[in-house]
Amino acid sequence: MSVDQITPGMEQLDLDEIYPFAIQLGKDAGALLVKGLERRRAESHENEEQIEKMNAVDIVTEVDHEVEAFIHTAVSERYPSHAFIGEETYSAGQSKDYLVDSRPTWIIDPLDGTVNFTHGFPMFCVSIALVHNHVPVIGVINAPLLNQLFSACSGKGSWLNESTRLPLLGKNIGPLPKDAPRRCIFACEWGKDRRDSKESNLGRKVDSFLTMATEPSGRDGLGGMVHGVRSLGSATMDLAYTAMGSVDIWWEGGCWEWDVAAGICLLNEAGGLVTTANPPEDEKWEEWTDVPAVKLGGRLYLAIRPATDARDGSETGRQSQVRVVKEVWKRVRRLDYSRPGA
Amino acid sequence: MSVDQITPGMEQLDLDEIYPFAIQLGKDAGALLVKGLERRRAESHENEEQIEKMNAVDIVTEVDHEVEAFIHTAVSERYPSHAFIGEETYSAGQSKDYLVDSRPTWIIDPLDGTVNFTHGFPMFCVSIALVHNHVPVIGVINAPLLNQLFSACSGKGSWLNESTRLPLLGKNIGPLPKDAPRRCIFACEWGKDRRDSKESNLGRKVDSFLTMATEPSGRDGLGGMVHGVRSLGSATMDLAYTAMGSVDIWWEGGCWEWDVAAGICLLNEAGGLVTTANPPEDEKWEEWTDVPAVKLGGRLYLAIRPATDARDGSETGRQSQVRVVKEVWKRVRRLDYSRPGA
């Protein structure tokens, strides 16, 4: 037990008591998102400028604030000793430092997939995580337009709509394919950095996507020939779908802890793996037998779906995940995301 | 009235009677897809080889056959004089000719998004269209894992789950943005042609995606700076989401009539526009005041979401759609898909 864990005021977390509270929060917050969308639908506008303005910024800001304030109030009343980091309040601050310490901390994204939300594209969600000693111990993600509520709690597994355990295919999900990344679904996002340069994050990303997609003989023999390339426009949904087993590989840079905290809990409880997106500096990483756990605030993420052990005993699920991590690292370029000021 | 329409045997179609039948077909077929997925989940496998085999081919073939046979039987019994083209039966034939004539013809894709289906990724659906005189007059798309049933019938509008008229935002969807493709959601798919060449369809596509995504000053001043790039892995869902207004622009080559027939009906009834993906040969296309309607069997599709007239009278919804078509044509390369033998 670390010193942090016995610091006065650090209560033993009663996850059995907190988990249902977090799920209900997710349901209520999801309903607020739908209301925000319906409000917009019903509104009459004087002119296009007003519509465009509502499209772009105001509607999102309004809903973001409302949902975050709702969650913040509920958490503060019930758990006044817990810390709280919300995407909205954090972004309004000056610093972009990593503010999570070892206290129980609620890390919230009131609305992930804001571009989708403004367009009525269903891939948006609220993301609610409780992190303790830097480990996400509860994760709730609600995508209300898809009727998909994801939830997970340490030791209790990952669930879709509280009834279907993840991954969706259960043990029939099998190991990762032997020739992965072939036959894998690869999820990735284009992001906000759109500079026209091979060295911008856009350039590095598209180069990497292309290597993952091209036939095996192409790209200097590195062609990954993935089964499909998918872009949903929400890091949180990408991660939830990886936990579901619907996405095999998710590779991304540039997100923040509130985008991924709940999803990491979901993925861990489902039996997935999450590490860093960038190939390690250590020249000998190809010889590694395991890979480092992701840094919550590291802004670089590579997630691999849950996998079962090979029945012939040749490989554990974890070993097949590590194998796929290396296959991805071989094919992607390093992304350039850091924490401002770090 | 064309000669075709008065050919003996060409009954006047009673769409009021056929439409509910088609919707029920979509619901029943969607339930079969879910059953196929659940069957797979429940199955116990002797070894990984069996799982991998089921993953890749067998499961899809089995479900594809089953759903197409179910629809074919139901249609033949009720409308014995109608023609029928299904993705499965068509693909089994030798020819890839365009077989649609002026008769009432059911054009079916029992399972669009097969890669998604095999991975339990929810973006898959059944697509059912009734085409008359080459025009899709009924379209039903059911994505059962998303609880999204889309339906449309000539003159009756487009609907989500039979209760919400599309586009989702109604008249508040507004015109296309004045600076489109900026602020647009752009949907596109990577496809199956993965040759490592600037001249392969993969090379042409990625080049085009990149131009659409890059900042305005980039790509020789053609950077489209779209708000988001999305890839769902299902042409049918892309088109349904464009009708919904969730996607602003969908650009694709390589699909077949069963992928798009129902979606085209949906899009037309919602007020969208669909034309060809490739910039026209006519050097003066930039001066055009309208664009040609899509060819159902043309394999090249560019769809633009529904749009309302500008309130200041400066532009009709159609004019703004045509403007966006041209903005896309300026930025994309010609794709190389034809009909084998054509």
Give chain A positions within 8 Å (CB) of B41.
168-170, 172
Q: Which residue has the higher pLDDT, B258 or A56?
A: B258
pLDDT digits (tens, 9 = 90+) for B299-336: 999 999 999 999 899 999 999 999 999 999 999 999 99
Residue A196 is nearest to which of B174, B177, B214, comparing CB atoms? B214
pLDDT digits (tens, 9 = 90+) for B31-46: 999 999 888 777 755 5
Which CATH code, of 3.40.50.10140, 3.20.20.70, 3.40.190.80, 3.40.50.720, is assigned to A170-331?
Answer: 3.40.190.80
What values do phi and psi take at B43, rounded to 5? Answer: -60, 145
Identify the residue among B172, B207, B248, B314 best suited for mutation to test binding to A, counting A beta carbons within 10 A and taking the highest. Answer: B172
Give chain B positions within 8 Å (CB) of A248.
119
Cβ within 8 Å of B, A 50-79 = 51-52, 55-56
Report the pLDDT value the prediction gives residue A3, as an integer from 0 to 100. Answer: 40
pLDDT digits (tens, 9 = 90+) for B70-94: 999 999 999 999 999 998 777 766 6
Residues of chain A with confidence (pLDDT) below 70: 1-11, 44-59, 92-95, 340-342
Report the pLDDT value the prediction gives residue A45, as an integer from 0 to 100. Answer: 54
pLDDT digits (tens, 9 = 90+) for B157-173: 999 999 999 999 888 89
For the domain made up of B3-165, the CATH class stated in words is alpha beta
State how far the Cα of A35 lies from the Cα of A144, in Å rounded to an integer. Answer: 10
Q: Taking residues B244-256, report their average pLDDT.
A: 96
DSSP A68-119: HHHHHHHHHHH-TTSEEEEHHHHHHSS-------SS-EEEEEEEE-HHHHHH
How far B227 CA sits from the closest chain A CA (Å)? Answer: 7
For chain A, give every residue range classified as CATH 3.40.190.80: 170-331
DSSP B195-215: -SSTTSHHHHHHHHHHHHHS-
**Smallest CA–CA distance from A45 into chain B, residue:** B172
Report the pLDDT value the prediction gives residue A8, as an integer from 0 to 100. Answer: 42
Give chain A positions within 8 Å (CB) of B119.
185, 227-228, 245-248
How far A240 CA sits from the closest chain B CA (Å)? Answer: 11
Report the pLDDT value the prediction gives residue B7, as an integer from 0 to 100. Answer: 46
pLDDT digits (tens, 9 = 90+) for B223-234: 999 999 999 999
State how far the Cα of B214 lies from the Cα of A293, in Å rounded to an integer. Answer: 33
Q: Taking residues B94-112, report their average pLDDT.
A: 88
What tokens were used for B98?
């365009």
State how far the Cα of A7 lies from the Cα of B234, in Å rounded to an integer. Answer: 53
Asked if A312 reaches chain B (Cβ–Cβ under 8 Å), the answer is: yes
> What is the maximal distance between C-alpha atoms in chain B?
68
State how far the Cα of A234 lies from the Cα of A242, in Å rounded to an integer. Answer: 12
Please state the length of chain B. 342
Give chain B positions within 8 Å (CB) of A116.
185, 228, 246
**Smallest CA–CA distance from A183 into chain B, residue:** B56
Asked if B145 reaches chain A (Cβ–Cβ under 8 Å), the answer is: no
Please state the length of chain A. 342
Determine, for residues A246 and B116 on separate chains, whether the beta-carbon distance falls below 8 Å. yes
Report the pLDDT value the prediction gives residue B57, as an integer from 0 to 100. Answer: 60
State how far the Cα of A128 lies from the Cα of A124, in Å rounded to an integer. Answer: 13
Determine, for residues A206 and B210 on separate chains, whether the beta-carbon distance falls below 8 Å. yes
State how far the Cα of A337 lies from the Cα of A254, in Å rounded to an integer. Answer: 6
For chain B, give every residue range classified as CATH 3.30.540.10: 3-165
- CB-CB contact of A144 with A123 (8 Å): no
Is this complex's ipTM strictly greater than 0.85?
yes
State how far the Cα of B41 lies from the Cα of A233, in Å rounded to an integer. Answer: 28
